[in-house]
Amino acid sequence: MPVPPLRVAVLISGRGSNLQALISAQRSGELAIDIVVVASNRAAAEGLRHAEAAGIATITLDPGCMPDRARYDAELFARIAAFSPDLIVLAGFMRVLDAAVLAPWAGRIINVHPSLLPKYPGLHTHRRALEAGDPIHGASVHFVGAELDAGPLLARTEIALEPGDSAETLAARLLPREHALLCRCVQWIAQGRVQLRGSTVHFDGTALSEPLRV
Ligand code: GRF
């Protein structure tokens, strides 16, 4: 019997280039997923326009409409859950989520972050890598925990810093690699090759001692 495609919800706050990469990979047949909903905390998020253009349902929920973060997160996740996703992807979603809403999604929610985590959680990752004189920078995909940009790592992609690099050139060089990384991770999950057991990521049945490389 054919396996139904993985139902994916994507959360964004801005540009949505990672979302667009998922949409394009789905369209080209590279990725057997069904993006069932795209949710954002910002009505102006450009990524919402990508979703609309692709005919994907959208949710916009303004944090200003809710009395506190816990209730905002509960409402957002209740609306997302109504679409019965198998996987939630945080793709440039610029909010820390409440532990209470994350708990039921343990092992089913991932984030893409532009640094070689655990280095540089938070913002300005490219500038921080340059300032530290790191020879290597990159992006990571991890399962989401209650802390910012932390949780068991699934995979990462690395790029070498080059003389004369600025935060902008580094970001531009990394972004396509980040897109490929996210698409590959979602593909592995859709293929049933990835499981989170406790805080250990398993790939093809074997515990990962370090993140996979893409
Ligand atoms: C990406 O670099 C992602 O890793 C980070 O925020 C950025 C979002 O980019 N969390 P986009 O909205 O997918 O273009």
Task: List, for residues 156-171, the tens digit of each pLDDT value.
Answer: 999 999 999 999 999 9
Distance 103 CA to ligand 1 centre (A): 24
Distance 113 CA to ligand 1 centre (A): 7
Residues 42-65, mean pLDDT to the nearest whole number: 97
Q: Give nearest CA residue, ligand 1 atom 8.
A: 92
Q: Give nearest CA residue, ligand 1 atom 14.
A: 17
Q: Catalytic residue positions?
A: 113
Residue pair 134/170 in contact (Cβ under 8 Å)? The answer is no
Q: Report the 10 Å Cβ neighbour count for 11.
A: 26
Distance (Å, rounded) from C-alpha 146 to C-alpha 101?
A: 9
Residues 74-103, mean pLDDT to the nearest whole number: 97
Q: What mean pLDDT is reported for the chain?
A: 97
Residue 1 has pLDDT above 70, yes or no: no
Q: Give nearest CA residue, ligand 1 atom 7.
A: 92
Tell me the pairing of strands 153-160 and 58-60: unpaired
